[in-house]
């Protein structure tokens, strides 16, 4: 609430006229600087690791590509890696592949989304992992 009030005051001060002095507000993740006569807003989103830690309850969930194509199903999660059977039809011709945690974009109750396209998924490393968990 205080940062909104400060931001509003800064905007008003920045548009009131050119005779006002420079105003700078620094808050974690955002920097607002309003030199007289204009507003410049910079937001630092940081460089934190954006990977997701795979969870055992992902087993059985469908795996989708970043372009919305169903790739297959998660069959195992071990040591921060996700194993999925992709491709094929009715269990014939499918390949077991391994994805690292950095290759997972999102996970919901309905699906796991990988940060790869359908075409890129075909080049994922093949795996001999046979366990279901």
The domain segmentation of the chain, as residue ranges, is: 2-43, 56-121
Residue 108 to residue 113: CA distance in whole angstroms: 9
- Cα of 74 vs its chain's centroid, Å: 19
With 0.75 as the threshold, say if the pTM is over it.
Answer: no
What average pLDDT does the segment 40-51 reach?
Answer: 56
56-121: which CATH architecture? Roll (2.30)
Residues in the chain: 133
Mean pLDDT across the chain, nearest whole number?
75
Burial class (CB in 10 A: 0-12, 13-18, 19+), 22: exposed
pLDDT over threshold 90, residue 115: yes
More confident call, 120 vs 88: 120
**What distance in Å separates the CA atoms of residue 133 and residue 14, rounded to the nearest whole number?**
59
């Amino acid at each position: 609430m205080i940062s909104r009030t400060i931001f509003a005051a800064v905007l008003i001060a920045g548009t009131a006229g050119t005779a006002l002095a420079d105003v700078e507000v620094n808050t974690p993740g955002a920097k607002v600087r309003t030199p007289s006569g204009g507003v410049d807003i910079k937001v630092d989103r940081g460089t934190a690791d954006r990977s997701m830690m795979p969870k055992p309850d992902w087993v059985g969930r469908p795996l989708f590509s970043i372009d919305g194509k169903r790739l297959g199903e998660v069959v195992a999660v071990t040591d921060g890696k996700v194993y999925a059977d992709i491709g094929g039809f009715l269990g014939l011709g499918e390949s077991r592949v391994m994805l690292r945690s950095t290759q997972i974009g999102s996970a919901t109750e309905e699906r796991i989304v990988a940060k790869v396209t359908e075409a890129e998924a075909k080049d994922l490393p093949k795996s001999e992992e046979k366990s279901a968990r």
